[in-house]
Each structure stands twice: as C-alpha cells, then as structure tokens.
C-alpha cells in the first residue's frame, strides 16, 4: 500500500518535471518570434504608408523645385516698382534677395505639408524665427553696419568724388560698399571707415557748397596806421582773381596783442577751381610784400629774456658804428632767393584745386575693398 503510493507520487513528480523542463524555452522562442513579427509588420505598414504618400511627396518636391527656380526672376520683377520710390542699388539688392528667400521658404513649407510633416513645418518656421533672433544678437555690430549702409544709400548725404570730413579725417569719397566708406585723403592714403561710424558721426561735406571761406591773421605794429593797413590788404584781396567778390572779403581787427595789432583777413573762394591752402599762402605773401613797400611794420611778438649770470654789453666805437654790416655770401643767397620767391609771377597762377588731383589718384588706385558701390 505504501509502496504503491510512493510509486504513484514518483510518477506524478516525473510527469510534472518533464513539462517543466520544456516550458520556458518554448516561451522565449515564441516571444522573439512575436517581436520580429511586430517589427516587420510595423516596417511593412510604414512602407505602405510611404508608398501611399509618395505621389504627394513627389508633387511637393516638384512644387519646391519650380518655386526655387522661379524665385529669382519673380523677385526681380517685383522689385522693379521700387525704382519709382528709391534709386538705391543696395535697397534693390536687399529687397530682391529677401523676396527670393521668402519664396524659397514658402516652397519648402509646401513640400513639408504635402509630405505630411505639418508639425515639423511649423517647428521649422518657429525655429527660423528663434534662430534669427539669436543671429541678430550675435552679429549686432554687423547688422548695425548693414542698416547704416541702407540708410546712407537712401539719404545720400554725400556723393562719389565729394570731399568730406568724418571724425577729423578729410578726403575724397572713392566708394561706399555695404561695409565701409573709403576715403582718399590729401596725402594719397586710403581710409576705410565703417558705415555705422559714418552714419552716427558728424559728416562735414566740403563739396556740397562750392564756396568756402578762408582766414588768416597778420600782425602790424602799434606805430602803423590800422586803417591804412586794412586798405592795403583789401586792395590785395580785390585784385586777386581767385578771391570772390560775393561774399565780400573783410579785414577786421582781431586782437590787440603785446606788440602787434592782429588783423584777421577773411576771403571766399570757389573750391571747385582753387585750393584754399594755395590762395591763403599767396595772399599772405602778397599782403606782406605790400606792407613792406608802404612802410607798415610787422614786429615780432615781445619776449622777455632773463640772463641770471648777467651779460656783457659791448659799446661800439664811433668808427665801428659807421661801418656797414657785413653780409656773408650764403646770407646774400638766402636774401636773393626770398626776393625772387616773393616776386615770382608764376606762383600766383598755381592756385588750382588739389581735389581734382586726388580724384584722379582715387580712380587710378587699386580698390582696397571689393564690393558693389551702393551710391
């Protein structure tokens, strides 16, 4: 009885052990097979969905290519009416490129919509705006310079070949690109000034008004007649062809100095035809020569010299005082050269403007910066 029960329980244990040894391997293989089937089904479903959307994707791609190819001619056509508002080449260029970019972005958006990526299209447009803000902050100086170029091309405070002064630098305008304004100064050097600096600073245009006023000071002695000196200076001004009669030149008392009465001479010239520096030099030389002829003294400024150790004063004898001072040959050459320089008639004719020479040099010189001239 007990033996029979023991055999029965052993048989049952064996029956239970046999299936337990083969149950788990079967479950693992089935799970792997099910996962593979699911992946394959997903791939097959995606492929079928792609095949269904393929015509729409092809249509979207075709539209994008067509819009991309038509962006440039359409933007050129749409920019033409701007010519009635502004003649700025930079404005036309920027507007044309902006319209082209908008067309291309619109074509890309249509492609994403036809491809079923509407959410991605919205994300791209949103990301474009955020990226634009980031780029704007990162390149603030460049953007400021570019905007200044646009404003300069619209307002045109100066033209090519004008003589202007910006931040104490005077020169002839050679070119204005989207980045900088190039000047050629009167030493022949090229000066590049960023357009943002040009736009934000004071611009002095020396060519807009051809008439320019010059002035200089000449001192006469207190023993000379001020009225007579003024008449002589006015006569020199009136007989000089380079000096304009309108506005009228003036000779005014400026300062009562320690040893001289300083007269300030004002005159106007046409800078298109004459050089202000050359005319000033000629007038000073001519007035000084006339003062010497008329006996108008021009003493040096009074100076006080102190000799702490004292100085020995030699009193000349009667025979020494009657002798004429001896002048060396070198001193005589200097005097002769000075006399010739004051009376040389050819010097009075060389009063032409220097700006034309600088303009010619600017045309012949190499451009320091490549770029389209926006003026």
Domain ranges of the chain: 31-138, 157-208+353-375, 210-302
**DSSP letters of 9-29?**
HHHHHHHHHHHHHHHHHHHHH
CB distance 363 to 182 below 8 Å: no
Whether residue 66 has pLDDT greater than 80: yes
What is the structure's pLDDT at 265? Answer: 97
Q: Give the pairing type, strands 203-205 and 180-184.
A: unpaired
Class of domain 210-302: alpha beta
Closest residue by Cα to residue 183 from 167, 169, 200, 202 = 169
What is the structure's pLDDT at 200? Answer: 92
The stretch 291-301 carries a mean pLDDT of 90
Query: Fold match between 157-208+353-375 and 210-302?
Result: no
DSSP 8-state class, residue 1: -
Which two structure tokens, joined as six digits, stand for 324? Answer: 């004429």
Whether residue 22 has pLDDT greater than 60: no
Higher pLDDT among residues 98 and 347, named by residue = 98
Whether residue 227 has pLDDT greater than 90: yes
Instruction: Please name every residue paired with 165 in a beta bridge, in sequence order, or none if there are none.
Output: 170, 204
| HEC-encoded secondary structure of 259-313 | CCEEEEEEEEEECCCECHHHHHHHHHHHHHHHHHHCCCCCCCCCCCCCCCCCCCC
Confidence class for position 292, pLDDT limits 50, 70, 90: very high
Query: Residue with structure tokens 């943002």?
Result: 196
Torsion angle of C-alpha atoms 25, 30, 35, 39, degrees rounded to 10: 130
Whether residue 366 has pLDDT greater than 50: yes
What tens digit of pLDDT does each residue of 88-119 get? 677 777 788 888 888 888 888 888 877 777 66
Confidence class for position 196, pLDDT limits 50, 70, 90: very high
Which two structure tokens, joined as six digits, stand for 144? Answer: 């400021």
Q: Distance between CA atoms of 253 and 233, rounded to whole angstroms?
A: 12
The stretch 330-342 carries a mean pLDDT of 46
The pTM for the full model equals: 0.58
- % of the chain exceeding 90 in pLDDT: 29
Class of domain 157-208+353-375: mainly beta
Of 37-41, 255-259, 262-266, the range with the lowest mean pLDDT is 37-41
Q: What is the mean pLDDT of the chain?
A: 78
Closest residue by Cα to residue 152 from 107, 206, 197, 192 = 197
Query: Residue with structure tokens 């307002």?
Result: 155
CB distance 265 to 287 below 8 Å: yes
Query: Residue with structure tokens 């149950």?
Result: 23
């Amino acid at each position: 009885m007990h033996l029979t029960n023991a055999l029965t329980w052993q048989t049952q244990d064996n029956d239970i052990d046999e299936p337990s040894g083969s149950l788990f391997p079967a479950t693992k293989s089935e799970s792997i097979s099910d996962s593979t089937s699911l992946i394959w089904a997903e791939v097959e479903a995606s492929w079928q969905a792609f095949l269904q959307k393929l015509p729409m994707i092809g249509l979207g791609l075709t539209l994008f290519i067509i819009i991309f190819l038509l962006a440039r001619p359409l933007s050129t056509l749409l920019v033409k009416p701007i010519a009635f508002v502004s003649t700025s080449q930079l404005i036309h260029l920027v507007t044309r490129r902006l319209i082209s970019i908008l067309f291309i972005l619109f074509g890309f958006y249509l492609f994403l919509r036809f491809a079923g990526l509407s959410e991605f299209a919205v994300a791209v447009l949103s990301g474009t705006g955020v990226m634009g803000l980031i780029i704007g902050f990162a390149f603030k100086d460049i953007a400021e310079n570019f905007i200044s170029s646009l404003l300069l091309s619209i307002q045109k405070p100066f033209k090519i070949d004008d003589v202007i002064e910006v931040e104490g630098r005077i020169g002839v305008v050679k070119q204005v690109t989207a980045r900088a304004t190039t000047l050629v100064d009167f030493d022949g050097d090229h000066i590049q000034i960023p357009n943002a600096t040009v736009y934000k600073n004071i611009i002095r245009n020396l060519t807009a008004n051809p008439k320019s006023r010059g002035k200089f000071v000449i001192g006469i002695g207190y023993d000379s007649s001020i009225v007579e000196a003024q008449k002589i200076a006015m006569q020199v001004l009136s007989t000089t062809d380079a000096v304009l009669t309108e506005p009228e030149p003036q000779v005014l008392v400026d300062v009562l100095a320690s040893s001289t009465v300083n007269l300030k001479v004002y005159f106007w010239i046409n800078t298109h035809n004459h050089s202000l520096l050359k005319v000033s030099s000629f007038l000073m030389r001519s007035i000084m020569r006339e003062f010497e002829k008329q006996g108008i003294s021009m003493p040096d400024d009074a100076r006080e010299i102190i000799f702490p150790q004292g100085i020995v004063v030699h009193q000349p004898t009667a025979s020494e005082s009657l002798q004429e001072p001896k002048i060396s040959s070198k001193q005589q050459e200097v005097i002769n050269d000075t006399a010739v320089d004051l009376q040389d008639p050819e010097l009075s004719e060389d009063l032409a403007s220097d700006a034309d020479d600088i303009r010619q040099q600017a045309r012949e010189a190499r451009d320091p910066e490549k770029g389209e001239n926006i003026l």
